[in-house]
Chains A and B, each alone.
Chain A
């Protein structure tokens, strides 16, 4: 199977839909050997640190737009924006960018559901765009997002912030801001849970589930 950029193949598109009526995936659904690598406090501290790094590197973030990559990049971008606003006292711009139509693995599985793209009305031209995602893995989602960005305008610079960098890059892409470097084997899975979507904050590491199950899950 093709390693996708999130932890589980298609986890960001399927989890919030297939589990009817409730938040994200149920805790009990994970394999027994799952372990929590980051708890709510650590996630909060990592985001605060990233927010300060963004302020430092962009001279106060006056023309920064935080664009989350759906699904879980979007609430992360909003949390970062809230911290920037707190420190600098003026609201930071946020949005979301769906890169599905630009992916290089579209033909490997059935058509994926599109996610919402929302860019501030003032556009992204001459701004500093910080792409925000939950897990950096192969780098292919980020490449697709860079292509999508290209069709939306011409930012002055593009940077990348991720909560977890789990390694195993397949493209020459690196993150500018990393919450936690998490060395993993390719047989492991990294799940990021966020209270906005899953009802709680956690980063969970588990062994890869049955291949057939993962394929089915990627079905939409």
Chain B
């Protein structure tokens, strides 16, 4: 595995399967009396969050703590970022404090990539702008494999605001690596211009896609990133691209419904669908901790990759 996890495209098929298998072992820990491993004792993980987040930040924090790492939480609000400190200066400060890994969420696409050039430790992308969110894609793949038993040949339909979604991009890349067939369904205005270059199919008709789907993933309509009118009204969006009980009935019997959260109930997903037995939304949160533990263990649990390489070449 590489030293950083910045894009789902960094992961080879073997890397991705190693993470999923490791997460599978770590998921067992949830049933044990002592839910803590000594593995990362003495290592420091910094959560550097420039953008609001509940589940991702808490999930990374829980994962690091279960591996006995020390966790430093940093949020842009109430820090020197509010006084105008640049990302680079913040990074150098963290470096001076001796962090082994930085988990970064930033509103600018590419921020984790820049950060990786400034710090010695590992950088984990916890969502950068509209670019990528690789651990979300990993936990989604993990959830699919647990529920349906396989990923190879699985038919996955991702629906909604693909344009603003880092989750969609990471999922398309990772699921393609793992052998699943992905279809994006969205209004033309909410698809990126370059979507034709992505390894997936594109459709504009949700009802027609559902009967040949094993997994349907609903994306949040990201109103906070929308600076123009992408669809006529929320009601019209919901009618054409929302998942309600009638649409859910079109799915094959075994199919599951996913959502990366936070949900806009009544917009992209109806409340009765979100709370149905097919929905894996709560499971995804629990799986997130196992998957992030696996990522932190594989990045930090062994020898420093760079020192190991120099030793091997001696």
CB within 8 Å of B: which residues of A?
Answer: 98, 101-102, 106-117, 147, 151-153, 212, 215-216
* Distance in angstroms between the alpha carbons of A115 and B28 in the assembled complex: 12
Contact call B302/A109, Cβ cutoff below 8 A: yes
Closest beta carbon of chain B to A59's beta carbon, Å: 28
Q: Answer yes or no: B312 CB below 8 A from chain A CBs.
A: yes
The segment from B34-42, B49-57, B240-248 that touches chain A is B34-42
Q: Which of B2-39 contact A (CB under 8 A)?
A: 18, 21-22, 25-26, 28, 32-34, 36-39
The residue from B1, B25, B38, B308 contacting A114, defined by CB atoms under 8 A apart: B25
Contact call A110/B25, Cβ cutoff below 8 A: no
Contact call A110/B305, Cβ cutoff below 8 A: yes
Contact call B301/A111, Cβ cutoff below 8 A: yes
* Distance in angstroms between the alpha carbons of A147 and B22 in the assembled complex: 20
Contact call A112/B25, Cβ cutoff below 8 A: no
Contact call B32/A152, Cβ cutoff below 8 A: yes
Q: Answer yes or no: B298 CB below 8 A from chain A CBs.
A: yes
Q: Which residue of B lies closest to A151 (CB)?
A: B34
* Distance in angstroms between the alpha carbons of A108 and B301 in the assembled complex: 10
Q: Answer yes or no: B82 CB below 8 A from chain A CBs.
A: no
Contact call B18/A113, Cβ cutoff below 8 A: yes
Contact call A117/B25, Cβ cutoff below 8 A: yes
The residue from A98, A115, A117, A152 contacting B33, defined by CB atoms under 8 A apart: A152
- Given A109-B303, A113-B18, A114-B22, answer yes or no on A151-B36 (Cβ-Cβ < 8 Å): yes
* Distance in angstroms between the alpha carbons of A112 and B22 in the assembled complex: 10
Contact call A101/B312, Cβ cutoff below 8 A: no
Contact call A114/B21, Cβ cutoff below 8 A: yes
Closest beta carbon of chain B to A207's beta carbon, Å: 22
Contact call B303/A108, Cβ cutoff below 8 A: yes
Q: Which residue of B lies closest to A144 (CB)?
A: B38
Contact call B32/A111, Cβ cutoff below 8 A: no
The residue from A102, A112, A117, A151 contacting B302, defined by CB atoms under 8 A apart: A112
Q: Which residue of A lies closest to B18 (CB)?
A: A113
Q: Answer yes or no: B297 CB below 8 A from chain A CBs.
A: yes
Contact call A106/B301, Cβ cutoff below 8 A: yes
Q: Which residue of B lies closest to A103 (CB)?
A: B39
Closest beta carbon of chain B to A76's beta carbon, Å: 21
Q: Which residue of B lies closest to A216 (CB)?
A: B312
Q: Which residues in B have their C-beta under 8 angstroms from that of A151?
A: 32-34, 36-37
Q: Which residue of B lies closest to A212 (CB)?
A: B312
- Given A101-B38, A106-B39, answer yes or no on A111-B298 (Cβ-Cβ < 8 Å): yes
Map CB proximity to A onto B204-236 as digits: 1 under 8 Å, 0 otherwise: 000000000000000000000000000000000
Contact call B25/A215, Cβ cutoff below 8 A: no
Closest beta carbon of chain A to B257's beta carbon, Å: 30
Contact call A101/B37, Cβ cutoff below 8 A: yes
Contact call A110/B303, Cβ cutoff below 8 A: yes
Q: Which of B299-314 contact A (CB under 8 A)?
A: 299-305, 308, 311-312
Q: Which residues in B have their C-beta under 8 angstroms from that of A98?
A: 25
Q: Which residues in A have their C-beta under 8 angstroms from that of B25?
A: 98, 114-117
- Given A106-B301, A215-B312, answer yes or no on A147-B38 (Cβ-Cβ < 8 Å): yes
